[in-house]
Structure 1
């Protein structure tokens, strides 16, 4: 088949094959790059969620410490400062929960968030008493 072709036609066919292969490789590379970009976006979102979960954990721990300070001290000024800290922590907690509610897509994650909110409301009521 290729024996009857001139050298120019053989070169054109070979360059054509190379160009087609390069196009296929370029399209495949673009697809993989887009996939990697989506994966890194998912990883960034997960890191943000973990950071926010750690913030919630720290807030709960700090509020427990402040409640203990309120119970142990007789100084009203220190009690008021502890109450202010607790209120500031609650604001940060609410902002963090709102972010997590916006970014959570799975049913399991939404269920965990609902349980967390319910538990924190119970803790807040106990702290207020």
Structure 2
């Protein structure tokens, strides 16, 4: 919660929210241990490439990407943050992933492969459509 409070204070002071959000995301990624850092950079590159309209920001200390209303659409949680065995790529309720009465909203991520990239490219594209 302290991370979130600091994020809100920093966002309120910034005149260029995109630049300050991008800086915060890249600084957060830089603090991650490998292999989380490499995965986070790949996710960052994919999200900013597929959905450039999303604004990078940190959200509860995690790299995240928000829509024009400031609502987080997709986020990355490194394994080191919670001492987990895998990273998580998650989607919030504003993501357009609805598929019947049930659908996944988060995915365990352990390595970057062409198959993983393809699936995530489709999910991010759908999330912002």
TM-score over 0.5 for the pair: no
User: Highest CA radius of gyration, 1 or 2?
Assistant: 1
Q: Which has the higher strand share?
A: 2
TM-score by length of 2: 0.24
Q: Which has the higher helix share?
A: 1
